[in-house]
Structures are given as C-alpha cells and as structure tokens.
Amino acid sequence: MSVGIERLAVYVPSYALPMADLAAARGVAPEKYVQGLGVEQMAIAPPCEDVVTLAATAGARLLRAARIDPRSIGMLLVATETGVDHAKPVSIFVHELLGIGPRCRVYELKHACYAGTAALMTAADWVRAGGIRTRRALVIAADIARYELGSAGEPTQGAGAVAMLVGSEPQALVLGEESGTHAGNVYDFWRPLGRREAIVDGKYSVDCYLDALTGAFGAFRSLERPALEPDEALTDRLARLLYHTPFPKMAMKAHRRLVEVDWRAARERWAAVEGRLDEAAAASYRDLVAPSLVAASRIGNTYTASLYLCLASLIEAENRALGGRRLGLFSYGSGCCAEFFTGIVPSGVATVSDAGVATALRQRTLVDVEQYERFVRAGDVGGDTPAGFTGDFVFRGVRQDRREYQHAEALAA
Ligand code: CAA
C-alpha cells in the first residue's frame, strides 16, 4: 500500500521585510544577510494573525484545492512551537474553523521544528494501520519564528504554514517506510514558558544540527546499505535533497556535511573528491539542493513548516520533471530530534503541483523597518486587518476569556 502526501498547500503572511533594509537599520553589511545567510526577505505576521489563522488558512486552501469534504478527515494534527495555550491545542481551533466533523482524532504536536515530521510520520502510520479502510489525515505545520529585535537571530525570523493531506492515494510524495533518527537533550534553542521570543545559542545550534544530521543520515545509510552497490554513494540515488532550512546557508552547510559522510563511506568516490571536497560539495549543492530553497530565501524560517515549504516550492517549480524520482528529506528540531527519510514523487504530480507558493509570494506587500517593528511591538493581540491582508481568517483578540476568530470575508462585509 502506498502512503504519503496527496497534496500540499502553503500560506504565508501578507507582509515581508527586505533583508537589505533590515541590515541598513542594524548597521550591518547587507551581504551578511543576503549572501552570508542566504535570506532576501522575511515574512512578517501582523497582530491580527496568529498560528491558528496561519494553520487554518493553509488547511482551508488545501481542502478547497483537493475538493475534500472536511467531514471525511479522520485525523487532524497541527505541529507548532508557537502554541497559544498550555492546554488547548491549536488544532481544536483549526478543527472548528475548517468545519471538520466530530469523528476525528485532533491534537497538537511539539518538538521544536521536528514536530512537522513527527506529525507526518504519525499520520502515515495511522493511514497504514487502517488497512483497506480509506483513511485520510490533515497535517498542518505552522509557526511564527521570533527572536529579540536587534539580536543575531533577528535576520532568521519568518512565518508560514504548510498543510498536507496524508492518505493512500499520494500524488505529491510516496513516503519510504524506513527512516534514520537521532535524538539527545541539548540546549541549543528553547523558549521557556511565558517568553515570546526564543533563546538561542546560535553557533552551538548550527553544530547540534550538523551532529544530528550525521547521526540521522548515518542511521538511514546503514539501513539502505544492503541495497547499495559496493562503493555506491546514496546521494547518487537521490534526485534532490531537502533540508530543514532556518536560513538557506544552513542547508548549504548541511549538504556539505551529508555528502562528506556519504562519500567517505563510498571509497572510490571518496578517493576522487578527497582534496577538493568543498568544490565537489558546492557543485552537488547547486544541482541537488538549491532548487528547493527559492521560497525559503523569501520567507525565512517557518520552523515546523520549513522542510515542507521547501518540498512544496520544489514540486511547484519542477513538477512533472520530478515524476518517478526519489527525494531525500532531513528534518531537525532543536533540543533535539532529527530524522532522515526519502520519498518518491509519483509521475502524475503535475495535477497537484500548485501549492499556492508563487501566488502567495506575488500577493505580498513589502513593509519598511518601522512598520515591521510596529507589528512586532504590538504583539499578537488580534485586531483589524491592515491594508493588503490576504489571509482567510483573522484573530480578533481575547475577549471574555475566549480567543475570537473570524472569516476575513465576514469582516470585510
Ligand atoms: N559579506 C558576505 N558574507 C558575510 C559578511 C559579509 N559582509 N559578513 C558575514 N558574512 C557571513 C559569515 O561569514 C557567515 O557565513 P559562514 O557561516 O558561511 O562563515 C554568515 O555571514 C553569518 O555570519 P555570522 O556567523 O557572523 O552570523 P551571526 O553569528 O551574527 O549569526 C546565526 C548567525 C548564529 C545563524 C544567527 O542568525 C542565529 O542565531 N540564528 C538563529 C538560530 C538558527 O537559526 N540556528 C540554525 C540551526 S538550529 C535550527 O535549525 C532550528 C531552528 O530552526 C532554529
């Protein structure tokens, strides 16, 4: 039985800040952000947008595009590290806004940026366990990445949501059944209760990411070894490699590490690249990784959604050329847990390739640093929609101990 992603839909906030403007305001060379980190713009959520509206808008667009009756969804999982309540999950608000029926397993998952993958794997296992009964899950990864104004992390913010329909008729990605995993308690990035912005040990977080990649990819490679020819590199069997992307330069560093691990294990390949590893890894990065990073460089970090934003953007850009080809995917969540897995893009992918990425990017309004700081300082208190708002749902604020949400159309009427 093939199980995987039937279709994806992306939603990003309607506002974006050019990184060159942020660099000028912070007295930093623009090249540091644009070339050094690889980020051109970052998505900014206005006060009337929270993780619920992000997730619900992505979910609503997915259900509309797939023409799925919301009541046929038997499992709704929302992965986020931007939760709005310690007890009530984001998923139950989304459940109501999308009109999903009562016969549904609904919950929120957390493990930093890894939770999107935890949700996808849980949903895939649930579909497989249904056997011949058709089961369909809705998985949504949604986040607002926030660091202190003026901090080193500030240029690596962003926001967005990716919704994925998981079922037994996967037209976007058939998931492989094996994964390589890696976990361990590290303090690279965390957000203690009551804090709005994350605390991060930036350089250490990069090292933790790379160590976790070595562990997860090494574990996957061992599982795959019996299928490989002696001295064959696993990367030669993959058409594209997608990474959790807090900023695109991180994906470049990750790929350099991954090919080193892979090629070292393939002795002939290693002999051929030894002494010019950086050059060979850079060429491999241009072919296998760069095509999936276009959206991330214009949206920034979307935490749980980041890897799946790369997937949606890649499928949208390359669609039928990926048909029948195998992708490698690496998910990392600080703290930490990581997973390397693969999937095959079905030949009919063109019918589901529009995930709304290009449309969302086209519809955005660029803001200046002053406006960005106004949004950040106001906090996610809810309220009216600013000019140019394109989301389907609006957070109106907390009133009489309830979080109030409204359809944007109803508000405009
Ligand atoms: N022209 C071109 N490049 C320049 C430059 C210039 N004028 N000035 C600096 N650069 C380059 C640097 O050489 C560096 O590139 P390399 O890493 O390839 O050497 C790059 O720009 C960044 O410079 P710094 O390393 O000096 O930047 P920094 O220390 O100020 O901050 C950061 C970088 C640590 C990633 C910081 O942005 C941060 O803390 N971000 C949040 C944490 C994060 O994203 N961690 C990633 C791994 S953890 C994870 O993935 C989970 C998650 O989502 C958070």
Per-residue pLDDT tens over the stretch 16-52: 999 999 999 999 999 999 999 999 999 999 999 999 9
Annotated catalytic residue within 6, 40, 49, 81: 81
Terminal C-alpha separation, the chain: 47
Give residue-wise pLDDT tens across range 171-191. Answer: 999 999 999 999 999 999 999
Q: How far is the CA of 37 from the centre of ligand 1 (A)?
A: 6
95, 182, 244, 255: which one is catalytic? 244
**CA 356 to CA 333: how far, in whole Å?**
26
373 is catalytic: no
Residue with the smallest CA separation from ligand 1 atom 22 is: 36
Ligand 1: lining residues by beta carbon, under 6 Å: 29, 31-32, 35-37, 113, 152-153, 155-156, 188-189, 200, 202-203, 205-206, 209, 244, 246-247, 249-250, 301, 303, 332, 334
| Backbone Cα Rg of the chain | 20
User: Which residue out of 22, 146, 149, 156 has the highest number of ligand 1 atoms within 8 Å of its CB and is therefore the one to mutate?
Assistant: 156
Q: Is 244 annotated in the active site?
A: yes
Rounded to the nearest angstrom, the distance between the alpha carbon of 260 and the centre of ligand 1 is: 21
Cα of 108 vs its chain's centroid, Å: 16
% of residues, the chain, pLDDT over 90: 93
What pTM value is reported for the model? 0.98
Chain segment 288-331, per-residue pLDDT in tens = 999 999 999 999 999 999 999 999 999 999 999 999 999 999 99
From 28, 35, 37, give the residue whose CB has the most ligand 1 atoms within 8 Å, as the site to mutate.
37
Q: For residue 203, how far is its CA from the centre of ligand 1 (angstroms)?
A: 8
